[in-house]
Amino acid sequence: MMGLLAWAWVFTLPGLVLTALGVPRDRRYAGYASLAGPVVLLVVAVVALLGGGSSSVAFENWLPFLPDGAYRALADELSALMLAILGFVAAVVYVYSLGYMADDPGKRRFFVYLDLFVASMALLVLAGNLAVLLIGWTGVGISSFLLISFWRDRPGTLSAGLQALAANAVGDGALLLAASIVPTGCGPLVTLSTQQCAAGPGGAELLALLLFIAAAAKSAQGPLYFWLPNAMAGPTPISALIHAATMVAAGVYVLVRTHALLELAPQVSLAIAIIGTATAIAASLASVFQANFKKGIAYSTIAQLGYMFAGVGVGAPFTGLFHLFTHASFKALLFLAAGIVIHGAGGRESLAELRGLGRFFAFSLWGFLIGSLALIGTPLVTAGSFSKDAIIDAALANQPVIGWILLLGVTMTGLYIGRLFGIVYLAPAADQHAVHHDPSAERPMNWSIVPLMLGSIVLGYLGNWLRTVLSGPLGPMEPLPPVPNLTGGLAFTLGALGFVVAVWYVRRPEYAAAPGETSYRADAWVRAIADAGYAASASLSRIQSGVLTRYVFGSVVAVAAILLIRVSLR
């Protein structure tokens, strides 16, 4: 079955072609042809995961201009797990979209883009070397852009899509650079840590750094976070699929896949941990002040990805992967539950307008509640606790400062998700007529999130089994902390505290969901930095005079100079 899985990226392509050609002629059933793809993917991936083993495909000399230009695909337990996650969340999102996008004129285009995304993501996960990884990487970037800017008539969607592309371009550039400095004959991705492969220019550190930059761009970490909150301009189902469960997880996946390389570069690992933690805290803080429902959840995604990065950075890649696994389930659940309310309120997303409307949607309320409990790590009941505990434990063992920061940060997690839950679902009931119920659309939406609810509860128990299964690709790992344990209990207490405080705070009638005018004026030094940057770029831009002759002169003189330098250095 692993052999079949190595070609998993082909699975959604028939659906793509059929939907693009308009195969279910009836517009109401547009997109049904694409449903089979993710389901097949899920089934094959789960069977392959249970079976174990690995399979690889290689076509040599496929891209002769790169040092390692072969087409390599590797299907092992790790890729099977990622594909199972992808298939699971994608199948749920496809069914959900049948309801959410039911009245949308661009429904067919939507499913075609979704198929393109799933195929690219599968190719990314199955990539056996950097060249193929790059193809999958750009593929998900393009589909992400197409889906973010899906609604062309709404303002701001194109700009959001372009921002995603811009951040992606940084990551693509880093990955391309990595692909070109890897020495010839290095072979598959998994051998990047070997002596031969890490011996290229800059050594293992440079390679690890480039991979980290690429991962950070994809997973919205550090300064490259900006595109993810704006990506909420796209339809909610893709916020759930791409920007919560799968594409943003690609960064974590790449770091886990190349964890052996990261072990050779301890400073880069530390940087990963620090930036992950800083992003987690900053994003959690930002989420508390959001006025838009989806953006609040988006900042939560950034924060949780920060936790995963921290897990990888402290030398416990399995914990990061485990959290990816559980997070996919409950974050998609949170988004889709939010989408039910947003759809019912006619597309409105601001918290001020959605106040109290959640209580009219029972499935959404329970889904969001389960998702929130999983996010703050309710022990035994939800999956998030197992994985978050694992990360915090590993961090406390290896980098105690980071561990304590992560532990205390769970308070803010509870705070922001409690705020969101409180405003939308528990606030005093608003006008019933502000929502409209559409049973035919809501049925697929409501029932599609039930598997996610179950997943958010149950998937955590698979931790030890996963540890055994993944011992092949990931090597020997630290044992997972026993459940329940002290740090887990402490984390949950802090999170629950934050949750309860937030809920109490927002239920008060005088609470305004939209942050008002602040009296904060940018300090003089901030302004000075901005002015300095502007002056520097203005002076540099005078080189672009537009006078062609000057450009030619510059080019010729530069060529001559380079030649002379090269000759004299020989």
Could you tell me the smallest distance in angstroms from the CB atom of residue 551 to other proteins? 10
**Is residue 567 within the footprint of other proteins (CB under 8 A)?**
yes
Could you tell me the smallest distance in angstroms from the CB atom of residue 13 to other proteins? 23
Of residues 518 and 549, the one with the C-beta less far from other proteins: 549
**Is residue 50 within the footprint of other proteins (CB under 8 A)?**
no
**Is residue 61 within the footprint of other proteins (CB under 8 A)?**
no
| Binding residues with other proteins: total (CB under 8 A) | 18
Of residues 380 and 560, the one with the C-beta less far from other proteins: 560
Could you tell me the smallest distance in angstroms from the CB atom of residue 568 to other proteins? 8
Could you tell me the smallest distance in angstroms from the CB atom of residue 560 to other proteins? 4
Peptide linkage before 484 cis (omega within 30 of 0): yes
**Is residue 566 within the footprint of other proteins (CB under 8 A)?**
yes
The Cα 391–Cα 385 span in angstroms is 10
Beta bridge partners of 57: 73
The Cα 76–Cα 53 span in angstroms is 6
Site string for other proteins, 536-555 (x = CB under 8 A): ---------xxxxx--xx--
Site string for other proteins, 496-535 (x = CB under 8 A): ----------------------------------------
Could you tell me the smallest distance in angstroms from the CB atom of residue 71 to other proteins? 15
Beta bridge partners of 55: 75
**Is residue 556 within the footprint of other proteins (CB under 8 A)?**
yes
DSSP assignments along 395-447, one per residue: HHHH-HHHHHHHHHHHHHHHHHHHHHHIIIIISSP--GGG----HHHHHHHHH
Could you tell me the smallest distance in angstroms from the CB atom of residue 567 to other proteins? 5
- Give the tokens for residue 233: 């301009």
Query: Which residue, among 323, 309, 197, has the nearest Cα to 261 in the 3D structure?
Result: 197
- Give the tokens for residue 405: 């920061």
Burial of residue 372 (CB within 10 Å: 0-12, 13-18, 19+) is buried
The Cα 455–Cα 42 span in angstroms is 14
Query: Which residue, among 275, 295, 237, has the nearest Cα to 113 in the 3D structure?
Result: 237
Of residues 511 and 553, the one with the C-beta less far from other proteins: 553
What is the distance between the terminal CA atoms of the chain, rounded to a whole angstrom? 56
The Cα 5–Cα 84 span in angstroms is 11
Of residues 195 and 549, the one with the C-beta less far from other proteins: 549
Could you tell me the smallest distance in angstroms from the CB atom of residue 135 to other proteins? 16
Of residues 64 and 482, the one with the C-beta less far from other proteins: 64
**Is residue 59 within the footprint of other proteins (CB under 8 A)?**
no
Could you tell me the smallest distance in angstroms from the CB atom of residue 158 to other proteins? 20
**Is residue 62 within the footprint of other proteins (CB under 8 A)?**
no
> Among the residues of 459-485, which ranges form H helices?
463-469, 471-474
Query: Which residue, among 45, 38, 94, 88, has the nearest Cα to 455 in the 3D structure?
Result: 88
Q: Quick count: other Cβ atoms within 10 Å of Cβ 138?
A: 18
**Is residue 60 within the footprint of other proteins (CB under 8 A)?**
no
| Interacting residue with other proteins among 21, 166, 352, 557 (CB under 8 A) | 557
Of residues 519 and 568, the one with the C-beta less far from other proteins: 568
Select from 354-362, 460-468, 516-524, 558-566 the region that touches other proteins (CB under 8 A).
558-566
- Give the tokens for residue 477: 């790992």
Could you tell me the smallest distance in angstroms from the CB atom of residue 564 to other proteins? 5
Which residues of this chain interact with other proteins, rule CB under 8 A?
Answer: 545-549, 552-553, 556-557, 559-561, 563-564, 566-568, 570
